[in-house]
Structure 1
Amino acid sequence: MAAEGPLRRLDERAGRAIAGSRLPGPAAEFFADLGNMPVAVPVLAAAVAFTALRALRAGAFRWWLAPLAAVVAMAAVPLLVIPLKLAVDRAGPPGADGSGYYPSGHTATATVAYGAAALLLLPLLSAGARRTLVTGCALVNAGVGLGLVRSGYHWPLDVAASWCLCGILLWGLTACQARYGRGQDPERRSTPVEGGATDRTGYRPK
């Protein structure tokens, strides 16, 4: 993108084709608006509050870790996106003002906010509900990216760059949950078993 090579020219041709397509403009604007911070961040805040309170009331071990990691991932978005915007200094599509369009801030906000919210909720759901949530999250983020390009706010690779960048943040959140967020059920630790003494896990030693 910074070198203005063949890939950038191909990207801009694709962007002009999508912006001039017959995709419904109002629907594109609706999905593009889902990347606004006042829309996306409250969704994550609600998921953080719900999962934190639920884990706290259940006495889960390290109940605060996953919600905190999600907040950190969201806070990292501007810290990563803004320096890249300044470094690449890419001009926007026709009609857009100024520069600094690569990567897309709206795409990054939506990717982390909705993605982190889904990751927090997944352990609480059944297998079918998890598939539905993941599919819905993917479709919403795809809609945000397509809506931004169709509405003339970004080029396609502005969107793709944010997906790649924020995918790393979501991978970090997933790794944090897997490595450090496995709690222990306090009731199981203290439940006696037949035959008398138990160890600290609630099972009688062999």
Structure 2
Amino acid sequence: MLTWQVAGHGPLRALDERLGRAVASGGLPAGPAEFLADLGNTAVALPVLAAAVVRSLWRGRRDARQRAGDGAAPPRWWLPPLAAALTAAAVPALVVPLKLWLARPGPAAMAGAPDGFYPSGHAATAAVLYGLAALLLYRGRRQTPGRRRVGPAVASGLVLLDAGVGTGLVRRGYHWPLDVLGSWCLAGVLLALWWAVCDRWAAGERRAVGLAWTPRARGHREGADGARPAAP
């Protein structure tokens, strides 16, 4: 709906531009707004995601070695961080064609810049890359009662961070509000797909581990080790 309103010069687009001019004219001080807007730069967000990917790979490799030593089927520990890297690469692959197709002019502060402000690349980068980093770390935590309390805290932190980046972009006149909202919608789809894919892999891994540790499988394994096989 947002894209249709922007492309068709609908009433929501006119309201959006009035709101954008009002936000850019005052409110949040320029210094903090610039800082928040800069958090959407790839040079800032990409190292954060890279650190989370490296930590996820290290922890997954360590856990896989422990499980292999216990005789369990080794999990595909490298799949969530690999999927995170591919999801991050999908951001410019989706945002840039939309920008070129819609060619929306920017606010007055961006006069002279080439058209193509919807959706916001900075807002999409911040939402997806920081979101992936947080979700990678969250999924890597052990299943404990405290893990249930971490989820809402992670979600709240991401919402506040994305809201700050979006507010900074509009306050500094780099984007219209709908540019930011469209990027958040896109980010929500990408993060949900990443989570669904990881859950599917995890479910297949649990099935594989469960089959590996059935009583019959344990009996064959003990027999191979020279111990007495389990009774049928």
TM (normalized to structure 1)? 0.88
Cα separation, 1, equivalents of 2:210 and 2:8: 59
Match of 2:161 among 135, 140, 149: 140
Match of 1:167 among 188, 191, 195: 188
Q: Which residue of 1 aligns with 2:86?
A: 72
Deviation at 1:200, TM superposition (A): 8.4
Residues 35, 199 of structure 1: alpha-carbon distance in 2 compared, 3 angstrom cutoff: farther
Q: Bigger CA drift: 124-133 or 67-76?
A: 124-133
Equivalent pair of 2:46/2:129 in contact (CA under 8 Å): yes
Equivalent pair of 1:115/1:137 in contact (CA under 8 Å): yes
Deviation at 1:199, TM superposition (A): 5.9
Cα separation, 1, equivalents of 2:163 and 2:35: 13
Letter in 2 for 1:102: Y
Cα separation, 1, equivalents of 2:53 and 2:160: 21
Deviation at 1:7, TM superposition (A): 1.3
The one-character-per-residue Cα deviations of 1:149-204 (angstroms, maximum 9, x if unpaired) are: 011000000000011112111111010111113445x999988x9xxx836899x8
Equivalent pair of 1:70/1:173 in contact (CA under 8 Å): yes
Q: Which residue of 2 aligns with 1:153?
A: 174
Tell me, yes or no, if structure 1 residue 61 matches structure 2 residue 75.
yes
Q: Which residue of 2 aligns with 1:120?
A: 136
Cα separation, 2, equivalents of 1:25 and 1:87: 31
Tell me, yes or no, if structure 1 residue 88 matches structure 2 residue 93.
no
Q: Which residue of 1 aligns with 2:7?
A: 2
Residues 188, 14 of structure 1: alpha-carbon distance in 2 compared, 3 angstrom cutoff: same
Cα separation, 1, equivalents of 2:121 and 2:81: 22
Deviation at 1:136, TM superposition (A): 1.0
Tell me, yes or no, if structure 1 residue 103 matches structure 2 residue 124.
no
The size of the alignment, in residue pairs, is 203
- Structure 1 residues without counterparts, runs of 5 or longer: none
Match of 2:218 among 194, 198, 201: 198
Equivalent pair of 1:11/1:157 in contact (CA under 8 Å): yes
Cα separation, 1, equivalents of 2:161 and 2:231: 50
Residues 199, 88 of structure 1: alpha-carbon distance in 2 compared, 3 angstrom cutoff: farther
Letter in 2 for 1:28: A
% identity of equivalent residues: 50
Deviation at 1:129, TM superposition (A): 2.8
Equivalent pair of 1:190/1:200 in contact (CA under 8 Å): no
Deviation at 1:122, TM superposition (A): 1.2
Deviation at 1:52, TM superposition (A): 1.2
> Which one has a larger percent helix, Structure 1 or Structure 2?
2
Cα separation, 2, equivalents of 1:85 and 1:190: 50
Q: Aligned to 1:75, what secondary structure does the other structure show?
A: helix
Cα separation, 1, equivalents of 2:220 and 2:139: 25
